[in-house]
Structure 1
């Protein structure tokens, strides 16, 4: 006789136990989609914030560099003027020493000391206000 087909014997598992209903699967899919949408939205918002901060930073750095340039030019001019004044004062000091003129010597030394006491920025304004502004994180600098 020919080979007879084998009959498989086994146990049928109850499909109802531990199974997920179609509605539960659909709800889980909706939760995944919603979480992905929220993640994308947050990423877009944060990327926009980051771009704004980068633009703000670039603008502020450019403003600082412009102010730095102006301040450097100011100091160059102010100290060039002071250098000329000091050179003239020391020339007069040498002349007074050579001539032995104590009165001129006293006046010239007093002038040198008075000039040395003053800063080129002293006449501009209260530097403590600038320091307070530098320490204030909410300070807006206008040039």
Structure 2
């Protein structure tokens, strides 16, 4: 006889002789259910927290992009104005030097030096006030 055809030998246990009593089985089932429900609750809480963090991140990234766009436009405008002013001062310097006008030459040079000393950020004022404005969702930015 081959192994596959050999009958299984052993003693069948009656339900009363089971090694796991029915009460323990019910307790185990309740433990599995409680554990699974606890897991599902925890998973839902964590998903909600992640969704809140994702929403916050999305809002903050949008605010950063908005502020960056505003700052970029501000610098483009300020530096365009500065560029025009600098070009004008150098034209006045050339004319004053060509004509030999010392007073006009001195005034043009002083204007160039003063402009070089100033920073476009000085015109922004207190940067903490700008941060407060960025934090205010109702603030309207005007250029």
Q: Do both proteins adopt the same fold according to a TM-score greater than 0.5, normalized to the shorter chain? A: yes
Residues 26-65 of structure 1 mapped to structure 2, 5 A cutoff: 26-65=26-65
CA distance in 2, matches of 1:122, 1:56: 31
What's the TM-score, normalizing by structure 1?
0.73
Offset, 1:10: 7.6
Let me know the Cα RMSD of the aligned residues: 2.8
Which residue is equivalent to 1:101?
101
CA distance in 2, matches of 1:42, 1:109: 71
Rg (Cα) greater in structure: 1
Which residue is equivalent to 1:141?
135
Unaligned runs of 5+ in 2: 1-8
Which residue is equivalent to 2:120?
120
What's the TM-score, normalizing by structure 2?
0.73
Offset, 1:17: 8.7
Structure 1 88/17 Cα, relative in aligned 2: closer, same or farther at 3 Å?
same
Which residue is equivalent to 1:79?
79
CA displacement 1:81-106 (0-9 Å, x = unmatched) = 11111010000111122123333222
Structure with greater proportional helix content = 2
CA displacement 1:78-134 (0-9 Å, x = unmatched) = 11111111010000111122123333222211211111111122022134x47xx6x
Offset, 1:27: 1.0
SS of 2:105 mapped into structure 1 = helix
Unaligned runs of 5+ in 1: 1-8, 134-139
